[in-house]
Amino acid sequence: MALQAQSLAVRQLTLKDFRNYADLRLDVASQAIVLTGENGAGKTNLLEALSLLAPGRGLRMASFDELTRHGAQGGWAVAAKIMAAGSDITLGTAYDGGPADARSAPRRTMIDGIPRKSSGSLARYMRVLWLTPAMDRILSGPAGDRRRLLDRLATAMDPDHQARASNFDKLLRERNRLLVKGAHDPLWLASLEHRMAEEAVALAAGRVASIATLKTHLKPESSPSFPWVNLTLDGDLERDLETTPAVQVEDRYRRMLSDSRTLDRAAGRTLKGPHRSDLNVVHGPKGLEAAACSTGEQKAMLIGMVLAHAKAMKNTIGGMLPVLLLDEVVAHLDLERRSGLFRELRDLGAQCWLTGTDRALFGNMDDHTEFYAIKEGVLAPIG
């Protein structure tokens, strides 16, 4: 099937010394790309490279030093030519190498050959959603995992959301450091808390808006193949914003931060704020909390959420569909669910990249799907 003009689509991907890829250039033209191969062949590595064309640390949250190919000198580079709204754009990101503890070291970003100050600028050109096997239990795991999922979904809707999350996190760490240190300028701490309150409410408001939009596509009739889910936000600021003007919520949180300094200093961290919020997910047809559902049901719920989110983006951002990265997504799905997934992906119109160990799992995909076999970081097209 030909790509829709509104879709984001990777037309060409180039990797240099990334994970197990020494040099790779891949040209694609289809809506769906399937990568098959044994475990460890490099399928997920390629999806990880694609995920780095958006802000953040990619689908594995790895430090940039970890991404450099073993034995390579220096760092790594990822570049892509993408089609967005009928125009061709070249995106690039690279890491030049650094000390062993390089988690906070920056990566370089270029758009159409022009250097940009941060990877946050990528969000205006590239929207990516992904599912990986590591996310199969995210709905019943720690709250922080669901919070990061929520913020990725919100960033896909609003490119500025990631910057708000990063800004709040930096301010939060600075406040915690000052409180633990003990000796600090009260005026400086008050100024810091003032900025924290601004960023916190903006961050919470972005989450509320994202969930509200997503819920319009999470209904019993939304997907014939995957269960709909009921989503609620469990966070003080998020709840307050549903009934109270943002400026008042901001004032309340600022006062709370000031009043809780002694308690937070004793705890060694800030105890309240959007960094403590959670996303509650309930299996709609069964009315069960996600934690009470089987692993298979949770995976089906996640797939349904990602498909609904892509549909929401299609209808709310000028038809800007995200690129979907679906790592081993068909594993453990029965034939009916696999067929339903492929049908919904085709109808959605987004470019999707799927991986799996067995080519036979994708036997009933669209005839225009591109298939590649991967072995030790080398790709070969297959029929």
Cα–Cα distance, 136 to 301 (Å, whole number): 10
Cα–Cα distance, 229 to 217 (Å, whole number): 10
Residues of the chain scoring pLDDT < 70: 1-7, 98-105, 317-319
Cα–Cα distance, 256 to 64 (Å, whole number): 37
**51: Cβ contacts below 8 Å, ≥ 6 apart:** 58, 59, 128, 130, 325
The pLDDT tens digits of the residues spanning 309-319 come to 998 888 775 66
232: closest CA among 215, 249, 256, 245? Answer: 215
Residue 1's pLDDT is what? 40
Cα–Cα distance, 168 to 175 (Å, whole number): 10
The pLDDT tens digits of the residues spanning 189-238 come to 999 999 999 999 999 999 999 999 999 999 888 888 999 999 999 999 99
Residue 74's pLDDT is what? 85
Tell me if residue 369 falls in helix, strand or coil. coil
Cα 140 to chain centroid, rounded: 18
Q: Residue for token digits 């995992």? A: 145
For the chain, the straight-line distance linking the first and the last C-alpha, in angstroms and rounded, comes to 16
Please give the DSSP secondary-structure letter assigned to residue 4. Answer: P
207: closest CA among 139, 272, 278, 291? Answer: 278
Residue 2's pLDDT is what? 40
Residue 6's pLDDT is what? 57
Asked whether the beta carbons of 201 and 235 are under 8 A apart, the reply is no
Asked whether the beta carbons of 65 and 98 are under 8 A apart, the reply is yes
Asked whether the beta carbons of 200 and 194 are under 8 A apart, the reply is no
Cα–Cα distance, 16 to 26 (Å, whole number): 12
